[in-house]
Amino acid sequence: MRASTDLDTLTDFFDRYGVALTAGDVPALAGCYALPGLVVADTYSFSFSTLAAVALSFVGAAPDYQERELVAANALIEDVQPVSALLTEVAVQWEFLDSQGRAVPGERYRYLLRTTEDGPAICTVIRAA
């Protein structure tokens, strides 16, 4: 097994992640993460060691997406860097689509992905500028 830098594999992974995100499918979101995991932003960091903790971190996001009427998420992969035999860093610019069909710009993130037997899994999320 080797770290995936294949754009088709990464695009499929982030497509599934984006669908789960806008659908509020917390179990599917949690399933996209490796344990333990870490989220890092300018003013906070938190780690999680269970799928329940990952799920709790997304509980508040679902109502926000619904309130903003976001119905689809598209990950624009900007950069892919192999880090080690099983780790890949992926820079993503998220773009959303609202219920009126308008593009809504999202944030940029860097994801550290671990290649597993089931495919990529997120180890670390860093909110980027």
* Count: domains in the chain: 1
For residue 20 the two structure tokens come to 């789960």
Q: Give pLDDT tens digits for 1-30.
A: 787 778 999 999 999 999 998 888 888 988
Radius of gyration of the chain (CA): 14
Tell me the per-residue pLDDT of 56-112, one tens digit each, with 9 for 90 and over. Answer: 887 766 677 777 888 889 999 999 999 999 999 999 999 999 989 899 888 999 999
33 and 121 Cβ atoms separated by less than 8 Å: yes
Express the helix, strand and coil content of the chain in percent, nearest 5 each: 30, 45, 25
Instruction: Note the pTM of the prediction, 2 decimals.
Output: 0.90
User: Among 39-48, 62-71, 116-125, which stretch is predicted with the lowest mean pLDDT?
Assistant: 62-71
Q: How far apart are CA 93 and CA 112, in angstroms?
A: 15
Domain of 58, CATH number, reads 3.10.450.50
Domain that holds residue 11: 1-128
